[in-house]
């Protein structure tokens, strides 16, 4: 996960997952990708293992304050489950460390799923020929091609964003009425790093975005909670980190259909836990690394989503122990039966 010191106890989703696991008596250790090591063909990490106490306080900020860790080098294959909770961008070399233990440990999300789905190409490439679920989206680093797309678009404005951005950073509107700036803008986005060119996303602006977007948390292919995020005055981005506020949201029938269709693909790809971002019923992003919002959804709906998550992981583990000899988590996850 991201550094423990960066956790805001009143808001943090990972802390809630950890708290629930500790409360149920599970051993929990945290580490960061930068601590990974291979020694004599064993993958290890320098971990902070939570020291067990007799009672776990139900107050999560107090839990955060009181927690004690023991620092130790641990074999990763000693764990039953690894829950990836680091912030984007994904360190792709880190995945090679996890490749070495992926047959022994249940990794949520699966290494290959993370590799495939960690940026916005994944939803952009989702097969949706009639554009029922995904807005028209172009991924490219070819400036002339992108300029042509904007000029030929029937709409006056489009959304431009970096392929690997998060938290709303770099998301802007490009308008036909300001075409003289667009080449420079594209050049800036694509060539912002010396010697490296970056892909960008050009996407139809979804009408209704002013009313905010919807975050849906998906566990094992099914929605477990949602909320609406409303952009601050004068900004197009609804991200909470960009100043957006939150409100209660009930999934519509068409949201549920979208979840079912996308959910099946997610589970097939090893993305057991994800955050979908929807605007006006259209999918714009799938967050697979460390989607937040658990705390807000809990508060708005008087639920504890972390309980569902740990229930799910306990179910996976039970199955894993039943099939000890040759366990392949992907094959065992059964969309319909695991969660319940």
Ligand X SMILES: Nc1ncnc2c1ncn2[C@@H]1O[C@H](COP(=O)(O)OP(=O)(O)O)[C@@H](O)[C@H]1O
Which of positions 258-277 make contact with Mg ion (CB under 5 A)? 277
Nearer to ligand X, 118 or 295 (CB): 118
Shortest separation between residue 140's beta carbon and ligand X, angstroms:
16
Q: Which does 237 bind (CB under 5 to 8 A by kind): ligand X, Mg ion, none?
A: ligand X
The upper half-sphere exposure of residue 266, i.e. CA atoms within 13 Å in the direction of its Cβ, equals 28
**Which residues are within 8 A (CB) of 258 and not within 5 positions of it... i.e. 6 or more apart?**
133, 276, 278, 281, 283
Number of Cβ within 10 Å of residue 309's Cβ equals 25
Q: Which is nearest to 216 in space by CA: 228, 225, 207, 208?
A: 225
Q: Which does 205 bind (CB under 5 to 8 A by kind): Mg ion, ligand X, none?
A: ligand X
Q: Say whether residue 231 binds Mg ion (CB under 5 A).
A: no
Q: Which does 227 bind (CB under 5 to 8 A by kind): Mg ion, ligand X, none?
A: none
Give the Cα separation of 100 and 23 in Å (integer).
30
Q: Which does 305 bind (CB under 5 to 8 A by kind): Mg ion, ligand X, none?
A: none
Nearer to Mg ion, 139 or 317 (CB): 139
Number of Cβ within 10 Å of residue 308's Cβ equals 19
Shortest separation between residue 173's beta carbon and ligand X, angstroms:
8
Nearer to Mg ion, 169 or 337 (CB): 169
Shortest separation between residue 52's beta carbon and ligand X, angstroms:
37
How are strands ordered across the β-sheet holding 245-248?
245-248, 222-230, 213-219, 273-279, 282-287
Nearer to ligand X, 280 or 298 (CB): 280
How are strands ordered across the β-sheet holding 200-204?
137-140, 200-204, 157-162, 172-175
Shortest separation between residue 202's beta carbon and ligand X, angstroms:
9
Binding site for ligand X (CB under 6 A): 135, 159, 161, 165-169, 171, 203-206, 209, 213, 231, 236-239, 277, 279, 284-285
Q: Which does 238 bind (CB under 5 to 8 A by kind): ligand X, Mg ion, none?
A: ligand X
SS3 239: coil
Nearer to ligand X, 14 or 203 (CB): 203
Contact 224, 305 (CB under 8 A): yes
Farthest-apart Cα atoms in the chain, separation: 66
SS3 40: coil
Q: Say whether residue 244 binds Mg ion (CB under 5 A).
A: no
Q: Which is nearest to 115 in space by CA: 93, 100, 137?
A: 93
Contact 213, 238 (CB under 8 A): yes
Nearer to Mg ion, 45 or 287 (CB): 287
Determine how β-strand 273-279 pairs with β-strand 282-287: antiparallel
Q: Tell me the site size for Mg ion, rule CB under 5 A.
A: 2
Shortest separation between residue 238's beta carbon and ligand X, angstroms:
4
Position among 204, 269, 285, 296 found at the interface with Mg ion (CB under 5 A): 285
Shortest separation between residue 190's beta carbon and ligand X, angstroms:
17
Two tokens, residue 91: 């360190």
Nearer to ligand X, 239 or 306 (CB): 239
Give the Cα separation of 76 and 98 in Å (integer).
8
Give the Cα separation of 26 and 28 in Å (integer).
6
Shortest separation between residue 153's beta carbon and ligand X, angstroms:
12
Shortest separation between residue 197's beta carbon and Mg ion, angstroms:
23
Which chain residues interact with Mg ion by CB under 5 A?
277, 285
């Amino acid at each position: 996960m991201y550094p423990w010191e960066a956790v805001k106890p009143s808001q943090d989703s990972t802390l809630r997952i950890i708290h629930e696991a500790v409360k149920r008596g599970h051993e929990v250790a945290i580490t960061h990708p930068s601590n990974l090591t291979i020694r004599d063909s064993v993958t290890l990490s320098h971990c902070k293992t939570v020291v067990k106490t007799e009672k776990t306080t139900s107050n999560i900020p107090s839990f955060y304050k009181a927690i004690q860790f023991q620092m130790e080098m641990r074999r990763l294959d000693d764990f039953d489950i690894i829950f990836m909770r680091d912030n984007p961008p994904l360190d792709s070399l880190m995945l090679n460390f996890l490749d070495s233990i992926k047959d022994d440990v249940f990794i949520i999300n699966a290494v290959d799923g993370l590799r495939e789905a960690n940026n916005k190409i994944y939803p952009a490439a989702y097969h949706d020929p009639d554009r029922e679920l995904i807005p028209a989206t172009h991924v490219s680093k070819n400036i002339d091609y992108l300029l042509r797309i904007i000029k030929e678009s029937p709409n006056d404005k489009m959304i431009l964003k970096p392929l690997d951005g998060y938290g709303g950073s770099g998301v802007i509107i490009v308008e036909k009425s300001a075409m003289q700036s667009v080449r420079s803008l594209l050049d800036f986005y694509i060539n912002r790093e010396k010697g490296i060119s970056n892909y960008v996303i050009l996407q139809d602006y979804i009408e209704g975005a002013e009313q905010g977007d919807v975050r849906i948390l998906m566990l094992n292919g099914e929605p477990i909670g949602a909320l609406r995020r409303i952009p601050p005055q004068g900004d197009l981005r609804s991200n909470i980190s960009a100043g957006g506020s939150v409100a209660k949201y009930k999934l519509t029938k068409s949201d549920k259909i979208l979840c079912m269709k996308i959910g099946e693909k997610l589970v097939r790809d090893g993305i057991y836990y994800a955050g979908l971002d929807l605007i006006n019923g259209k999918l714009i992003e799938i967050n697979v690394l460390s989607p937040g919002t658990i705390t807000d959804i809990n508060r708005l709906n008087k639920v504890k989503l972390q309980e569902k998550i740990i229930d799910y992981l306990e179910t996976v583990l039970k199955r894993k122990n039943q099939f000890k000899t040759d366990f392949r988590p992907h094959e065992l996850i059964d969309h319909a039966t695991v969660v319940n």
